[in-house]
Amino acid sequence: MGTAHIYDVIVIGAGPVGENVADRAVAAGLSTVIVESELVGGECSYWACEPSKALLRPVLLRAEASRVPGLDPAVAGPLDTAAVLAHRDRMSAHWDDTGQVEWLASAGIELLRGHGRIAGTRRVAVDTPDGDTVLLEARHAVAVCTGSRAALPDLPGLDELRPWTSREATGAREVPERLVVVGAGVVGTEMATAWQGLGSRVTLVARGDRLLPRMEPFAGQLVAEALGAAGADVRLGVGVARAVRDAGPDGTVRITLTDGTELLADELLFATGRAPRTDDIGLEAIGRTPGEWLTVDDTLTVTGVPGDWLYAVGDVNARALFTHQGKYQARIAGAVIAARAQGTALDSTPWSPHTGTADTAAVPQVVFTSPEIAAVGLTTAEAGRTGRRVDVVDQEIGNVAGAHQHTPGYRGTARILIDPERRTVVGATFAGPGVAELLYSATVAIATEAPVDRLWHAVPAFPTISEVWLRLLETYRG
């Protein structure tokens, strides 16, 4: 390997999280190299956020437009799937990372392509595509930003089955005639929505008794109803007992469910969770177990590793598996790395520049189904499980004029959770068309810990869906 190349900071993984850690480090005057074994831009750019939302946007827009007088006949026909897939390709940059590589160079971040493994304290060995091994050494920090991958079930004959994961689901070149989706979470419901809207006959299979089980019950119920109305077959309380694919490149998938029912499909998508990409990054060199999630404290420093030099940022730490939250963590980690490099004391108070408080108090998420689901902070179930006393305030979003203007016959529900002692919002969930745009206001209310008596003075414009905030506060004050 020869002499080590020395940098202030080494980042393993050039997805959005790694890019942001590197950017913050460079902005603090620290020399930084980023290591990437696939495409610069990572999972979100090519196999998750960007392509999935490109597939979903026309499906969701048509669902809303079909209920608007004057537009409903115009959107009655099938979507132009070729155009949708072409748009998906453009939004994924045709799986070409040239633009992202150019951005790294413009930001002063050095890129080393290859597979990086921790090789000891502040040391990383990189196997490059040309067969060489390059040794890197960090003066201050190594940040693991390798993300997560789809977790597949332990089924016999999985290789021959050739199932879809989220990558195949977002990158498919044609619409499968029959698609079975296994999983009740975000990936399962979004991909069921997208491919049903693009012409597949979708069957969604889930072991639990509802969709989106980590969210408020009304959210999953509305999504299940909408999928059923669109023609999808939603089956709850069952799982996959056995699945085989007939011989040949286009072989039919034969699926037996745990209730004995048999299904036939052209493709089978497992959306059954995520696993950390830590199985081959050299964790054994620091006494950790390959394949494990990396536990961190609120500064994103890996616990149990002496010296405060190893950081785990984004999905890999299992705190909040969302791109936007990983980028938030990257900003925190970047500030921590810079402070330690400069010998500055860290501020460990909540909501400080060095503390990832939002990871536990204000994680926002949107599920781009029909209808949209948006949530931040606690749910009612989480509050009960942790013994947190909350007041629950519900409102039918369809009762506000802005909802009627948006979609005649609007159906949707808003719920906020209020800490009765501090009189601050600690959780919010919205379900209905267009509610993603309500989420930031809820996130600000929670992150700023604004008292509801002050929120009363934040006047929503008329007629907008955000007027539901006024109705929620009126209900609580009343």
CA distances (Å), 79 to each of 11, 56, 58, in order? 42, 12, 8
* Whether pLDDT at 2 is above 80: no
* Whether pLDDT at 272 is above 80: yes
Task: Output the pLDDT for position 70.
Answer: 87
- Are 77 and 62 spatial neighbours (Cβ–Cβ below 8 Å)? no
Beta strands in 207-273 (DSSP E): 233-236, 240-245, 253-257, 262-265, 267-270
3-state DSSP assignment of residue 227: helix
Q: CA 158: distance to chain centroid?
A: 25
Phi then psi for residue 62, to 5 deg, are -65, -40
- Are 119 and 135 spatial neighbours (Cβ–Cβ below 8 Å)? yes
Determine which helix (DSSP H) or strand (DSSP E) holds 426, and give its type and residue range.
Answer: strand 424-431
Dump pLDDT digits (tens) for 84-135: 999 999 999 999 999 999 999 999 999 999 999 999 999 999 999 999 999 9
What are residue 428's DSSP bridge partners?
A: 376, 416
- Going by C-alpha positions, the residue among 151, 168, 228 that lies closest to residue 47 is 168
Please name the residue ranges forming H helices in 66-157: 81-91, 98-106
What are residue 32's DSSP bridge partners?
A: 9
Residues in CB range of 166: below 8 A, 6 or more apart: 47, 48, 52, 150, 187, 191, 271
Determine which helix (DSSP H) or strand (DSSP E) holds 310, and give its type and residue range.
Answer: strand 310-312
Task: Output the pLDDT for position 402.
Answer: 95
Dump pLDDT digits (tens) for 126-171: 999 999 999 999 999 999 999 999 999 999 899 999 999 999 999 9
* Whether pLDDT at 345 is above 80: yes
Dump pLDDT digits (tens) for 421-472: 999 999 999 999 999 999 999 999 999 999 999 999 999 999 999 999 999 9
CA distance 256 to 2: 55
The type of residue at 269 is L
pLDDT band at 1 (very low <50, low <70, confident <90, very high): low
Dump pLDDT digits (tens) for 379-414: 999 999 999 999 999 999 999 999 999 988 999 999
Question: Quick one: how many helices (H) and strands (E) in the chain?
Answer: 16, 21
Residues in CB range of 425: below 8 A, 6 or more apart: 377, 416, 417, 418, 419, 442, 445, 446, 450, 452, 455
CA distance 210 to 214: 10
Q: Quick one: DSSP state of residue 90?
A: H
Task: Output the pLDDT for position 77.
Answer: 83
- Are 270 and 150 spatial neighbours (Cβ–Cβ below 8 Å)? yes
- Are 310 and 287 spatial neighbours (Cβ–Cβ below 8 Å)? no
Q: Quick one: DSSP state of residue 152?
A: P
Dump pLDDT digits (tens) for 46-60: 999 999 999 999 999
320-324 CB contacts, 8 Å cutoff, 24+ apart: 320/359, 320/363, 321/148, 321/274, 322/363, 322/364, 322/365, 323/16, 323/17, 323/44, 323/48, 323/49, 324/364
3-state DSSP assignment of residue 433: coil
CA distance 26 to 234: 49
What is the greatest pairwise CA distance in the chain?
Answer: 73
Please indicate, yes or no, whether the overall pTM of this predicted structure exceeds 0.85.
yes
CA distance 171 to 92: 9
Determine which helix (DSSP H) or strand (DSSP E) holds 187, and give its type and residue range.
Answer: helix 186-197
Please name the residue ranges forming H helices in 134-183: 158-161, 166-171
Q: What is the 3-state secondary structure (H, E, C) of 32-55?
A: EEEEECCCCCHHHHHCCHHHHHHH
Mean pLDDT of the chain: 96
* Whether pLDDT at 294 is above 60: yes
Task: Output the pLDDT for position 337.
Answer: 98
Phi then psi for residue 11, to 5 deg, are -115, 125
Residue with tokens 């964790």: 283
* Whether pLDDT at 310 is above 80: yes
Task: Output the pLDDT for position 3.
Answer: 85
* Residue % of the chain over a pLDDT of 70: 100
